[in-house]
A and B are shown apart, each in its own frame.
Chain A
Amino acid sequence: EVQLAESGGGSVQTGGSLRLSCVASGFTISSYWMHWVRQAPGEGLLWVSRISIDGRDTSYADSVRGRFIISRDIAKNTLYLQMNSLRVDDTAVYYCARGRGKAADPQDQWGQGTLVTVSS
């Protein structure tokens, strides 16, 4: 069974850092594009970042570029999101998700999410 389990969320002050983890089971992350998507309280979904199958290609939403870094550890089958210079508007539930196929394909499997709260 495919599963994704995020962790690492919590409360932090503006300017702080957090690292989110997403442990995958039931599949190998090195065979899929992997994504982070977030959802602010009461808001819609916002794509944050993705990493390619070979790990060489990463992309970011404009709102997080230069502050967030996506990475992975193949041996641990784990996806990461390093979040620096956090802002109040980064407050959201962060989901990791598996890409269905190609770079731009939709996400077919999602974790349960981890809540990040940034306060001033």
Chain B
Amino acid sequence: DIQMTQSPSTLSASVGDRVTITCRASQGISSWLAWYQQKPGKAPKFLIYKASILESGVPSRFSGSGSGTEFTLTISSLQPDDFATYSCQQYSSFPTFGQGTKLEIK
């Protein structure tokens, strides 16, 4: 299985901040990477696929980049609704997820 490792596990930030979350794959996955947002007690919400393509309806303050083994999710200016847990997923082979990054209010 391809292992996905996210950092940091927890990130404290304020409204208006620019934040970046990193996801590393244990082997190269080209650009076969997705990002999800999840709030407590809710289902994941699909944000980005193919490392950098925003799903329809996702605000443009979200962006993704990377290829191979290292990827990032950036939120350019945090909004109150963005405080949640973010997970990456590789789909180069059977899907595997990162452990999640909790974005909390500072």
* Bound complex: CA A28 to CA B44 (Å): 21
Q: Please tell me if the beta carbons of B43 and A113 are within 8 angstroms of each other in the complex.
A: yes
CB pair A106–B87 under 8 Å, yes or no, is no
Q: Which of A59, A105, A113 contacts B91 (CB 8 A)?
A: A105
Residue among A47, A104, A106, A113 with the most chain B CB within 10 A? Answer: A106
Q: List 20 A-B contacts (CB under 8 A).
A: A43-B99, A44-B99, A44-B100, A45-B87, A45-B97, A47-B94, A47-B96, A95-B43, A100-B46, A100-B49, A104-B92, A104-B94, A106-B95, A107-B46, A108-B46, A108-B55, A110-B45, A111-B43, A112-B43, A113-B43
Count of chain B residues near A, Cβ 8 A: 23
The distance from the CB of B73 to the nearest CB of chain A, in whole angstroms, is 14
Q: Is A61 an interface residue (CB 8 A)?
A: yes
Residues in B whose Cβ lies below 8 Å from that of A106 = 34, 46, 49, 89, 91, 95
| A-side contacts of B95, CB under 8 Å | 35, 47, 104, 106
Determine whether B98 belongs to the interface, using a CB cutoff of 8 Å to chain A: yes
Q: Does A74 contact B (CB under 8 A)?
A: no
A-side residues, CB < 8 A to B, are 35, 43-47, 59, 61-62, 95, 100, 104-113
**A46 with B55: in contact, given A106-B34, A106-B91 (CB under 8 Å)?**
no
Contacts of A95 in B (CB 8 A): 43-44
- Nearest A residue to B55 via CB reads A108
**Cβ–Cβ < 8 Å partners of A47 in chain B:** 94-97
Interface residues of chain B, those whose CB is within 8 Å of chain A, are: 1, 32, 34, 36, 42-46, 49, 55, 87, 89, 91-100
Chain B nearest Cβ from A3, distance in angstroms = 11
Q: Do the beta carbons of B55 and A45 come within 8 Å of each other?
A: no
Which listed residue, B1, B43, B44, B94, touches A59 by the CB 8 Å rule? Answer: B94
Complex Cα gap A87–B73 (Å): 35
Closest chain-B Cβ to A69's Cβ sits at a distance in Å of: 17
B98/A44 in contact, CB under 8 A: yes
Q: Of all chain B residues, which has the CB nearest A98?
A: B46
Known: A44-B99, A47-B97. A104 touches B49 (CB 8 A): no
On chain A, the residues within 8 Å of B87 by CB distance are 44-45
